[in-house]
Amino acid sequence: MRWALVKVSLAVTAMVVVAFAVPLGLVVKEMARDRAFSNAERRAAGLAPVLAITTDRQELDKAVATTEDGAAGRLAVHVPAEDSGGTALEIGTRRADAEELAVTRRLGRASIAEVPGGFALLQPTALSSGQVAVVELFVPEGEVTNGVATAWLVLAGVGLALIVGSVAVADRLGVRMVQPAQRLAGAAHDLGEGRLGARVPEEGPPELKSAAVAFNSMADQVVQLLANERELAADLSHRLRTPLTVLRLNAASLGSGPAAEQTRAAVEQLEREVDIIIRTAREAKPQTQATGPGAGCDAAEVVRERMEFWSALAEDEGRRVRVAGIERPVRIPVARPELVAALDALLGNVFRHTAEGTAFSIDVHNGDDAVIVLVSDAGAGIADPAAALARGNSGGRPGSTGLGLDIVRRMAEATGGDVAIGHSVLGGTEVRVWIGLDGRRQGATAGRRGHRPARRRRGGTGTRRAADA
């Protein structure tokens, strides 16, 4: 579109310049010609008083010599013979033909004859004898075209400046129209790839501005729909998974007997059904949602809240719990439900996959550009950390959907962070969640790979040990 506008502007301006400059150039040429011949007529008329008084050769020679044109050899006077036997008088150099002189005498008006090197102005003048003398003034070609070349150059320069100016204006106009369209296309592409935070500045021409407003409204609705779906899945995870974990742990303490076995079987069946619902909800749509200025939550407050929820079960199972780094507010660009779902997934894994009495801890490290959350336990550890981070991989563990760490990973990646699994200082597993504070999404994967060692150094002692592991 940009180049099309430039081409159209170039064509239209060129046609306008040609339509006006060519006639104007011809007018300038004609005006220069008229000016030259008008001056020549005025100078030739200067001899009329002399011819009206006398036709004496000496007097006429003296009068011709005193003029500028006569001194330059460009003035001639042709006086006809007074009678049929007389001799015609010619003063100066004749350039015009005798026929042209005769035509001028007969018509009685000035005429112009083309001669080598220029033009000859033939000016008839009446004599006292009643005859007509002709004053011939030579006008060089340069005098006729004087100033024409300069005027044409000026017209060409003005025309070229108009063309360049119109192209520049068309290019700027094209940029103003094309850039919003390109941003709109790029945002639509990003939205199609699942980057739901893509938005378009609402600027540009009215039509494109309207399209940007409609696109942003559509993207907001898509984000809201996906957020509602995600909330539903998270609600299922929070409301059903956690009580089921408590039921399963309590069922395990019922001992043996038909009633106990039936209870455990029913809990396992219910867990499988819940797993199917969670998988269906989680895998149906991308789990990315937009973040904006002011969005996020206080990680310290969320950690305290979730630990109040899990502390009762930890006390029942005799688990020692340590929480650090939540004395002051820790703002992160993650929605509260997102962080709650991630913490419940991590803590649920600790209770499901470690024996009763196993200690665990939560450490929150607040840096300048990142917040690191460490969840450590004193269990047996994870044999294959890479497989545990893979989406939907339960590792063959009973009662696991394989989506817990995937939820955590997606929450971290939405901020440009990552998740890593290593050995904790307690002897078991340490899950390190790196949460970026600048909210950048682009290049998150490359950024995580390129900066992982530096990020771990900011995490404190526990983080360095996880990196060494």
In this model, does residue 283 exceed pLDDT 60? no
Amino acid at 134: V
Supply the pLDDT for residue 222: 84
**Is residue 345 within 8 Å of residue 407, measured between CB atoms?**
yes
Question: How far is it, in rounded angstroms, from Cα 454 to Cα 469?
Answer: 15
Determine what percent of the chain is predicted with pLDDT higher than 90: 13
- pLDDT at position 66 over 60: yes
pLDDT value at 430 more than 90 = yes
% pLDDT > 70, the chain:
81
Q: Could you report the per-residue pLDDT of 159-218, keeping only the tens digit for each?
A: 889 888 888 888 877 777 777 888 888 888 888 877 778 888 887 778 888 888 898 888
pLDDT in tens, 75-102: 889 888 776 656 778 888 888 888 888 8
Q: What is the pLDDT of residue 405?
A: 78
Which run of H or E residues covers position 211?
helix 206-236
C-beta of residue 419 within 8 angstroms of C-beta of residue 447: no
pTM comes to 0.40
Q: At residue 284, does pLDDT exceed 60?
A: no
* 194: phi then psi, degrees, rounded to nearest 5: 100, 0
Question: Is the pLDDT score of 461 beyond 50?
Answer: no
Task: Give the amino acid at 243.
Answer: P
User: Which one, of 404, 318, 403, 422, lies nearest residue 360 by Cα?
Assistant: 318
- Residues comprising the chain, all counted: 469
Highest mean pLDDT among 20-24, 311-315, 349-353, 371-375: 371-375
Query: If pLDDT is split at 50, 70 and 90, which confidence band does 70 have?
Result: confident
**In the predicted structure, residue 112 carries a pLDDT above the cut 80:** yes
The confidence score (pLDDT) of residue 464 equals 32
- Measured from the Cβ of residue 206, the count of other Cβ atoms closer than 10 Å reads 7
Per-residue confidence band for 295, with pLDDT thresholds at 50, 70 and 90: low
Mean pLDDT of the chain: 79
Q: Is the pLDDT of residue 121 over 70?
A: yes
How distant is the alpha carbon of residue 157 from its chain centre?
33
pLDDT digits 0-9 by tens, 325-347: 999 999 998 888 888 888 988 99
Q: What is the pLDDT of residue 243?
A: 73
**Tens of pLDDT, residues 353-411:** 899 999 999 999 998 889 999 999 998 888 777 777 765 554 444 444 445 677 888 88
322 DSSP β-pair partners: 361
Token couple for 85: 């036997």
Residue pair 187/181 in contact (Cβ under 8 Å)? The answer is no
Q: How far apart are CA 81 and CA 418, in angstroms?
A: 118
**Tokens 């199917």, residue?**
276
Q: Is 76:95 a contact under the CB 8 Å cutoff?
A: yes
Q: What angle do CA 179, 185, 188 make, to 5 degrees?
A: 140
pLDDT at 230: 65
Quick check: 237 and 210 in contact, CB under 8 A?
no
Task: Specify the pLDDT at position 433.
Answer: 94
CB 155 within 8 A of CB 25: yes
State residue 435's pLDDT score: 93
Ranges of H-type helices in 317-381: 336-353
Distance in angstroms (rounded) separating the CA atoms of residues 19 and 226: 61
